Amino acid sequence: MSRGYLPPSGRERRAVRRRAFVDSLPVLMGYTAMGFVAGSLLAAKAGVSFAPLWAFLSGGLCVSGTLSFAIVQPVAERVGIWAIALMLAGVNFRYVFYGWSMLGAWKDVRGWRKFLLVLMLTDENYALETACKYKDPGRRTFYCLCLSAMNLSYWVAGLTSGAAFVSILRRALDPSVIAKYTSGLEFAMAALFIVIFTDQAKGFFAHGK
Amino acid sequence: MANDFTYMAGVVAAGFAVTFFFRAVPFLLFPAKGGNIPPWIEKLGAMVSPVIILGLIFYSYSSLEWRTPWPYIAGIATAAVELLTRNSLAGIIAGTAIYMSLLAAGCSSGPSSITYDAANPLMRITVNGIVFGGKDYVTPREAVKRLEQHRIPHDATIHVGVDPDFTDNRALWVFHHNYLNKAGYTRVVFVHERRAEAVKMKKRPGANNNRPPRR
């Protein structure tokens, strides 16, 4: 018998929110730092006008670290949109495997709540959501919602501030100076993939045993 | 500018459509069903994901200085720090910092600047590609990018040295018209053989050798 999705009330809600905030603190560090790097990379290397706007939109709508890093090089070369979409399909194919374990817990959630939950099935957020200690659907969904909203705000803030920072520097400094001091920053993308790969390989071997 | 705007809007829209679609796949396939992930999908995920990410690692290395050992050193350091500290952010920061400091210390295959000297060719076309300076082969697109990066003025005469063993005139034409001219470098000279020789000046006895040379 399913009680369906009922948001918890009063004191319960506050406790869940606090729990979610404490759990999101490591992500706060990660998302703001990675977002800042990805945003500055976009503003420094992609060569587009209004970089902070694009950082804000792509941060809020795509919410994917791999995407934010992976689009910089193709955008700098003005690769066609279909080709970029195809590449991103390869990059983000792994997200297909994330929603399955949440099917049961979220099945009665509707509207913008469901949109936010699906949008925020990112690597870090998913890891926290699967590790959630609340078993009843009400508190669990509310916990996931709080976590999603918090992590989304961290990511958007990091990405936009990074892009804005470099855009302002571009006004003040010579482009060659910026090119000199951001040279090698593109390794962050490779490092992100290496870290994801070692994580998955570790999980694969642990699972195999 | 407006073109840029629609392009970036398209990129963001494509990113949103692709990413959101993939995340929504389970909810679209089984909207009412609860329960756990089917075991075959779990197995497939555990197999497919690392392979895709491995491909992405190769892809991301293509935009690095992959002919030098430095990105590989930084990559190993990234994985090592990540495994030791169990903190992915520490690994990323350590690897990127190592790579950036290696490049800053001069460990790079490319020249840090193109010395612009009208008498000598900026680049040299050989059978293998286009050469800047010493051993650094680049593609025509990269060659134009470097000219732009180093702010070589559009009205500068670009002297392109052509190796004597390079006989493909069509490739020269393509490079001239499709790359240099399109980028705005309209004054291109192909130097097929350099006959200029350095002449050693001898000091004349009795002459005022401290006098600045006549222009």
As a whole number, mean pLDDT of residues A13-36 equals 88
Partners of B66 on chain A (C-beta within 8 Å) are none
Residue A160 clears pLDDT 80, i.e. is over it: yes
pLDDT of residue A1: 35
Half-sphere CA count of B141, side-chain side, radius 13 A:
3
Could you tell me the pLDDT band of residue B99, with boundaries at 50, 70 and 90?
A: very high
Provide the pLDDT for residue A148: 94
Q: What is the pLDDT of residues B128-160, one digit of tens each?
A: 667 765 556 677 888 888 777 777 777 777 778
**Residue B12's pLDDT band (cuts 50, 70, 90):** very high
Say whether pLDDT at A24 is over 70. Answer: yes
- Residue B12 contacts residue A61 (beta carbons within 8 Å): yes
Q: In what order do the strands lie in the sheet with B130-132?
A: B136-138, B130-132, B123-125, B158-162, B188-191
Q: Do B52 and A61 touch (CB under 8 A)?
A: no
Mean pLDDT is lowest, of A3-12, B9-18, B73-82, for A3-12
The pLDDT of residue A115 is 93
In this predicted structure, what is the pLDDT of residue A209?
A: 45
Instruction: Name the residue type at position B84.
Output: L
Closest residue in A to B90 (Cα) is A30
The domain locations on chain B are 2-104, 123-202
Q: Report the run of H or E that residue A196 belongs to, with start and end.
A: helix A187-208
Mutation pick from A96, A128, A129 vs chain B, by most beta carbons of B within 10 Å, is A96
> What token pair was written down for A95?
């997200």
The per-residue pLDDT for range B153-182, each reduced to its tens digit, is: 777 777 787 777 777 778 888 888 888 888
Using the beta-carbon criterion (under 8 Å), do B100 and A183 form an inter-chain contact? yes
Amino acid in position A90: G
CB-CB under 8 Å, B5 with A93: no
Q: How would you classify residue B106: left for phi > 0, otherwise alpha for psi between -120 and 50, otherwise beta? A: left
Contacts of A113-118 with CB under 8 Å at 24 or more apart are: A113/A141, A113/A145, A114/B27, A116/A145, A116/A148, A116/A149, A116/A152, A117/A141, A117/A144, A117/A145, A117/A148, A118/B20, A118/B23, A118/B24, A118/B27
Counting one residue from A and one from B, how many pairs have CB atoms under 8 Å apart? 220
Place of tokens 């005469």: B157
Which tops the pLDDT comparison, A37 or B48? A37
Provide the whole-model pTM. Answer: 0.68
More confident residue, A64 or A178: A64
CB pair distance less than 8 Å for B11 and A202: no
Q: What is the mean pLDDT of residues A189-204?
A: 84
ipTM field = 0.87
Q: Which two tokens stand for residue B90?
A: 């520490």
Interface check for B42 against chain A (CB to CB < 8 A): the answer is yes
For A95-152, the pLDDT digits (tens) are 888 888 788 778 888 888 899 999 999 888 888 888 778 878 788 889 999 999 999 9
Helices (H) and strands (E) in chain A, counts: 10, 0
Q: Per the CB < 8 Å rule, is A97 touching B41?
A: yes
The better pLDDT of the pair B107, A45 is held by A45
Looking at per-residue pLDDT, the higher value among B82 and B39 belongs to B82
CB atoms B12 and A58 under 8 Å? yes
Tell me which of A42-46, A153-157, B46-50, B172-176 is least confident: B46-50
Within 142-171 of B, beta carbons closer than 8 Å to A belong to 149-151
What's the pLDDT score for residue A97? 82
* Nearest chain A alpha carbon to B39: A100
- What is the distance in angstroms between the Cα of B152 and the nearest Cα belonging to chain A? 12
Q: Is B96 on the interface with A (CB under 8 A)?
A: yes
Please indicate whether residue B9 or residue A47 has the higher confidence score (pLDDT).
B9
**Nearest of A208, A195, A172, A177 to residue A69 by alpha carbon:** A195
pLDDT over 80 (residue A155): yes
Give percent above pLDDT 70 in chain B. 70
Residues of chain B with pLDDT > 90, as a percent, come to 17
Contact flag B37-A101 (C-beta cutoff 8 Å): yes
Burial B72-105 (b: 16+ CB within 10 A, else e): eebbebbbebbeeeebbbbbbbbbbbbbbebbee
Is 70 exceeded by the pLDDT of residue B108?
Answer: no
**Percent over 70 (pLDDT), chain A:** 94
Tell me the pLDDT of chain A averaged across its residues.
85
Chain centre to alpha carbon of residue B67: 11
Q: Do A62 and B103 touch (CB under 8 A)?
A: no
SS3 B133: coil
Mean pLDDT of B47-70: 80
Cα separation of B162 and A113, whole Å?
64
Predicted local confidence at residue B79, as pLDDT: 93
Minimum distance, in Å, between the CA of residue B29 and any CA atom of chain A: 10
Candidate from B25, B46, B74 with C-beta closest to A207 = B46
Under an 8 A CB cutoff, do A97 and B37 touch?
yes
What is the rounded average pLDDT for all residues in chain B? Answer: 77
Instruction: Report how far residue A98's alpha carbon sits from residue B4's, in angstroms, rounded to the nearest whole number.
Output: 34
